A = this chain, B = another copy of it.
Amino acid sequence: MNIGILGAGQLGQMLALSGYPLGNRFTFLDTTGGHSAAIGEIISDPENQRLSDFLDRVDVVTYEFEHLPVALLREIEAHKPVYPSSRAIAVCQNRVEEKALFDRLEIPTPEYRVVTNAAELESAARTLGCPVVSKSVTEGYDGKGQAVLQTPDQAADAWATIGHEKLIVEAFVDFIREVSMIAVRGRDGEVRFYPMAENQHVDGILRYSIAPLPDLDAGVQQTADGYIRTLLDELDYVGVLALELFQTRDGRLLANEMAPRVHNSGHWTMDGAVTSQFENHLRAVQGLPLGETRALSPTCMINVIGQEPESVEVLRLADAHLHRYGKAERAGRKLGHINVVAHDHAALKEKLDVCAALLPDAPAPAFSFVP
């Protein structure tokens, strides 16, 4: 089966690497005209004129980023199956619709308001209690289009800085950790859940994900499984869905946001789970049986951001798996990741510290379960 992928970055590369052994071939539609990490046939289409070439070549279409025009997906859906569907992407692109969906499905979220001017933003900040985080309703990615208000009188500045016509304002959550759920749903409605990961973000960019969590209550995992299953079923979703949540001091989970694709916080599954999120996404979109999502060993994913470490030093570490994306160095850019695997969490912590020390400017890993 020839799989069409919208986008040609590292997620597309990792999808392709996991799909060749299934017998798949890949065609990428790259509308950016920029860097391509793709492995397969690349249709470079910065002028948006080659969609029909792309569609002629592929049996099914998926994508590696969700900031795609919904109209484009609908157009493609008229010709070829697209998974996840345009409906899923429409919800995930819009924080107001996403929050409304969470509300409707009774998935708890941090308290929030929708505001359409600086005065409303200030008022929301007062009502919710500062600090609050304000986010553009659309096009948010990796901390862009966001601002934190420490006091309500920062509203005018924040409004101007973000520069969107509608914002969502959220109360800060007194969380003990950020976690994410990755699950996959097949065309037949079967759902499989990966063990929850704990994530450490720095400056709005993911730095570390660790899974499974040694101190995670089985009930909490079940709650998260239930939330994501409700979302998957409601959207009649096909493929991998990622749901980011906060775990509060009193053990509750509050949904932050979701992404309708393979997700950076699921990269640990490449070396730490029976079936990677990439292979499971491809199995799902092709209507194949889903693979086991069980963790093999405690695993930590370390993102390589901005500057690469010496490969030689990383490869010298036992049980560190290097995944480079073939991209040029640039501040804030995701250049690769390293999966560190160990037989238990104490050994993982040691290996992780050694590995993190090889990365230029990497902050120290800090996980909630490590004393």
Interface set of A (CB-CB < 8 Å, partner B): 13, 17, 20-23, 25, 39-40, 274, 283, 288-289, 291-292, 296, 311-312, 315-316, 318-319, 321-324, 326, 336, 341
Contacts and interface: CB of A to CB of B under 8 A. Distances in A.
A283 B311 CA distance: 11
A239 B17 CA distance: 23
A116 B318 CA distance: 51
Contacts of A23: 311, 324, 326, 336
B274 A322 contact: no
Contact of A318 (B13, B20, B292, B312): B292
Given A288-B312, A312-B289, A274 B22 contact: no
Contacts of A322: 21-22
B20 A13 contact: yes
B274 A318 contact: yes
Contact of A22 (B288, B292, B311): B311
A336 B24 CA distance: 13
Contact of A20 (B39, B316, B319, B321): B39
A24 to B, nearest CB: 9
A289 B316 contact: yes
A324 B22 contact: yes
A39 B39 CA distance: 7
19 contacts: A17-B17, A17-B20, A21-B321, A21-B324, A22-B311, A22-B315, A22-B324, A23-B311, A39-B39, A39-B40, A274-B318, A274-B319, A274-B341, A283-B315, A289-B315, A291-B315, A292-B318, A292-B319, A296-B296
